[in-house]
Amino acid sequence: MKTISTVALATMTVFFAALAAPAAWADCPTQFAPLAEHAPLQIDTRHGKRRFIIEVARTSDQQERGLMCRAHLDADKGMIFPMSPPRPAAFWMKNTMIPLDIIFVTPEGRIESIKRRAKPYDLTPLASGGSVNAVLELGGGVADRLGIREGDRVVWPAKR
C-alpha cells in the first residue's frame, strides 16, 4: 500500500508541475519582437575579446519587459539596460522563458557581478552589489562558456 501511495504522489507531482508551466505562459500570449535599437558590445576577458549584438532597452517600458516571453536567445545576442544616473539594480525572471546570465556593469565599464544561469520564471530579486550604470543579459551559461568574469571590461556605444 505504501508503494502505491508513493507512486500516486509522484504522479500527482508531475501532473501539477505540468499544469503550472502553461499557467506561467499565460502572461506571454505571444513572443515579444526584438527591440529596434541594436548595438555592438564587446567584453574584454582574460581569454580574448567576446563580441555580441545587443538590443538596447532604453525606455522604462522596454526595461520592464526586457527578455520576457522569448523562447530563444542566440549565444551572440543579448540585451542591455542603461541606467542613468548609476544606481543599485535588481532583476527578476518574471515571464522569462529562458535562463539568463545577468551581468552588472559599473560606471567605469567593469563587470561588478554576474548572476549566472538565472532560473526562468523565478521571482527572486537578483541584485547588484553596488551602483551600476548598465545591466547586460546574455543567454544562461554564455558567461561560463566564454570565460566572462567579474572585473572584465565591457565596451559598448552608450548613447545618451
Residue 16 contacts by C-beta under 8 Å, 6 or more apart in sequence?
Answer: none
In degrees and rounded to multiples of 5, residue 151 shows phi and psi of 95, -20
13 in any annotated domain: no
CATH code of the domain covering residue 106: 2.60.120.1140
Q: Computed from CA positions of residues 120, 142, 115, 129, in that sequence, does the dihedral angle turn out positive or negative? A: negative
Residue 39 lies in a domain: yes
The closest of 66, 81, 88 to 132, measured between CA atoms, is 88
pLDDT in tens, the chain (160 residues): 444 443 333 333 333 333 344 444 447 766 677 777 899 999 999 999 999 999 999 999 999 999 999 999 999 999 999 999 999 999 999 999 999 999 999 999 999 999 999 999 999 999 999 999 999 999 999 999 999 999 999 999 875 4
77 falls within a domain:
yes
For the chain, what is the domain count?
1
Tell me the pTM.
Answer: 0.81
Domain membership flag for residue 20 = no
